[in-house]
Amino acid sequence: MSAARTPPEPRAAVGTPIGLLAELTHRCPLQCPYCSNPLALERAGAELATEVWLDVLEQGAKLGVLQLHLSGGEPTLRRDLEEIVARAAKVGLYSNLITAGVLLTRDRLERLASLGLDHVQVSIQDASAANADRIAHYGGGHARKLEVAGWVRALGLPLTINAPVHRQNIDNLPAIIDLAVSVGAQRLEVAHVQYYGWALQNRQALMPTRRQVLDSAKLVNEARERLKGIVVIDFVVPDYYARRPKPCMGGWGRGSINITPSGKALPCHAAETIPGLVFANVRDERLADIWLHSEAFQRFRGTQWMPEPCRSCELRAVDWGGCRCQALAFAGDAALTDPACAKSSLHEAFTQVAEHAAAQPAPKFAYRNPRAGAHH
């Protein structure tokens, strides 16, 4: 008896990387327990020199990159941020500074704006200053962020407020939305924490209940209606209670490149958790070669690598099989279907883990430890 066969597909055409996320440094004054940096932080001495970053921006622009996200850690810790912003403007990249804000002065922000910075994204941890400072483990941080948000608007720059939500701040969502409106943000990103790296270490301390998640979705929908024309609200749902996974990174190797402080080019920020993947470094190879040919970018590109049930699923070129890092973190194999998908044999166990974690008392945070990277 012959098994039903899925017709073979041509190898996915390689598109253009629209976005380049430059993790300029892993250093950061904050210690959020859901930080997207890896557990083994890269040390300051391993960071790329200014000239390498400037060259990477030129290469990126030639390759078709449109948006440059300057991130970290805390990107304002780089003394050459001005040069980087100026070069981005020169080569025609739209630059977005993703910052905790607490180290910025008004003068520096003004300088960055005059050099061509296009957009600022300020992260907040809550609407309540005391809780926000507790989550970030940084006294007085929340008040500084609000001040910085005010400067951003006063300088005429577009502002996005980035609010990661979880069980320890989600009940303040109405106040978080009000805060974004009051500081004049054009965009608010309400992003449920995703569980890799530091957030996975803190899963029980962060995991909301299903009820909290449903309530947050309802609230966001109502606010979107009410605040039309005032603020755009993006909403990132938590995978653990979903039935279909997110198209992580818009598909592996389809539209974005992340570059770590030491120059490793990654298809996503958590790709280094996947054992066996080798990452090319922008110190040694041209960005175009890395994008087109490097093993890491090819590994999960397109649909050819997929196992069942993804392989014959009608959504395989919509969600691209979900998130490789989540498949690894939960199923132990990055090449399996994301367990957030209801078609995965692990989906039920996945949901149960979330429900169990959310039902337990929240343990103390394991804060992102700045010394963890000392050994690189």
Binding site for ligand SF4 (CB under 6 A): 244-245, 309-310, 313, 315-316, 319, 321-322, 337-338, 341, 343
Using CA atoms, how far apart are residues 291 and 297, in angstroms rounded to an integer?
6
Q: Please give the size of the binding site for ligand FES, defined by CB under 6 A.
A: 9
- Judged by CB under 6 A, the residue of 165, 173, 191, 325 near ligand FES is 325
Query: Would you give the binding string for ligand FES spanning residues 278-317, x where CB under 6 A is met?
Result: ----------------------------------------
- Our CB check for ligand FES shows the closer of 142 and 324 to be 324
Least Å from the CB of residue 330 to ligand FES: 12
Q: Which residues contact 338 (CB under 8 A, 6 or more apart)?
A: 239, 245, 248, 321, 322, 323, 324, 326, 327, 344
* Strand pairing class (119-123; 94-99): parallel
Q: Mark the segment that binds ligand FES (CB under 6 A) among 114-122, 290-298, 323-331, 346-354.
A: 323-331
Instruction: Dig out the tokens for 149 from the structure.
Output: 């948000």
Tally of residues, the chain:
376
| Angle CA 295–300–302, to nearest 5 | 115
Q: Which residues contact 50 (CB under 8 A, 6 or more apart)?
A: 80, 83, 84
Q: Which residues contact 149 (CB under 8 A, 6 or more apart)?
A: 101, 122, 159, 161, 183, 184, 185
Using rule CB under 6 A, residue 323 touches ligand FES: yes
Name residue 225's beta-bridge partners.
none
The amino acid that residue 80 corresponds to is: D
Residue 316 binds what, of ligand SF4, ligand FES, none (CB under 5 to 8 Å, by partner type)? ligand SF4
Query: Would you give the binding string for ligand FES spanning residues 189-228, x where CB under 6 A is met?
Result: -------x--------------------------------
Residue 325 binds what, of ligand SF4, ligand FES, none (CB under 5 to 8 Å, by partner type)? ligand FES
Using rule CB under 6 A, residue 69 touches ligand FES: no
Using CA atoms, how far apart are residues 130 and 349, in angstroms rounded to an integer?
36
Which residue is associated with the tokens 């890491």? 296
Cβ contact 81:75 at 8 Å = yes
Least Å from the CB of residue 341 to ligand SF4: 3
Which residue is associated with the tokens 């070069």? 87
- Our CB check for ligand SF4 shows the closer of 38 and 339 to be 339
Residue 163 binds what, of ligand FES, ligand SF4, none (CB under 5 to 8 Å, by partner type)? none
Q: Mark the segment that binds ligand FES (CB under 6 A) among 59-67, 132-140, 208-216, 321-329.
A: 321-329
Using rule CB under 6 A, residue 324 touches ligand FES: yes
DSSP letter at 232?
E
Residue 187 binds what, of ligand FES, ligand SF4, none (CB under 5 to 8 Å, by partner type)? none
Least Å from the CB of residue 279 to ligand FES: 13
Least Å from the CB of residue 28 to ligand FES: 19
Least Å from the CB of residue 247 to ligand SF4: 8
Least Å from the CB of residue 267 to ligand FES: 7
- Our CB check for ligand FES shows the closer of 26 and 78 to be 26
- Our CB check for ligand FES shows the closer of 145 and 324 to be 324
Residue 270 binds what, of ligand SF4, ligand FES, none (CB under 5 to 8 Å, by partner type)? ligand FES
Provide DSSP, 283-331. Answer: TTS-HHHHHHH-HHHHHT-SSTTPPTTGGG-TTTTTTTTS-HHHHHHHH
Nearest Cα to 84, choosing from 123, 51, 132? 51
* Strand pairing class (265-266; 256-259): antiparallel
Instruction: Dig out the tokens for 57 from the structure.
Output: 């921006």
- Our CB check for ligand FES shows the closer of 136 and 325 to be 325
The residue ranges that bind ligand FES (CB under 6 A) are: 196, 248-249, 268, 270-271, 323-325
